[in-house]
Amino acid sequence: MSTSETSRFVRLRVDMVLEITDPAALSGTALESIAAEYGEPGGESAEERTRAESAVREDGAEALASLIDPFDLVGEVPGVELAQASWSSETVDYDPDDPDSWDLDDEDGEEDEDEDDDAGSGGDVPHNG
């Protein structure tokens, strides 16, 4: 198949397990990001800002999702333009010594089915970008 017959679009899947070593630092950074995005408290988006702040205070996965921007991963890669992105985060049980805790084959079928539903981390937390 020649280059002209193939799609120009590529789906890049990235799956990471991160350890939150300092929840206070993570939520603090997420709150700073929210403050920068929304500006002064009490503005037009006060209710949305309050929900976002509450989410990042209560859940490290939400705080992390609010700070991750897929554009940052590819923004400076020459020859590509981000067409669409979705991402989510969730708290998981993970044992680095258990080889089955990183079994991506089990998720492939589920991910395809749920893909359209994975737009961000639920919509309550703003995502930089």
pLDDT in tens, the chain (129 residues): 555 567 889 998 888 899 999 999 999 999 999 999 888 777 768 889 999 999 999 999 999 999 998 888 898 999 999 999 988 888 988 888 888 877 665 554 444 444 444 434 444 444 444
Per-residue pLDDT at 45: 83
Per-residue pLDDT at 13: 87
DSSP state of 21: S
Distances (CA, A) of 122 to 58, 63, 86, 103, 106: 14, 12, 11, 24, 23
Per-residue pLDDT at 58: 95
Q: What is the pTM of this model?
A: 0.66
Per-residue pLDDT at 105: 56
Check if the beta carbon of residue 29 is closer than 8 Å to that of residue 22: no
Per-residue pLDDT at 2: 55
Provide the token pair at 17: 């397990």
Per-residue pLDDT at 98: 86
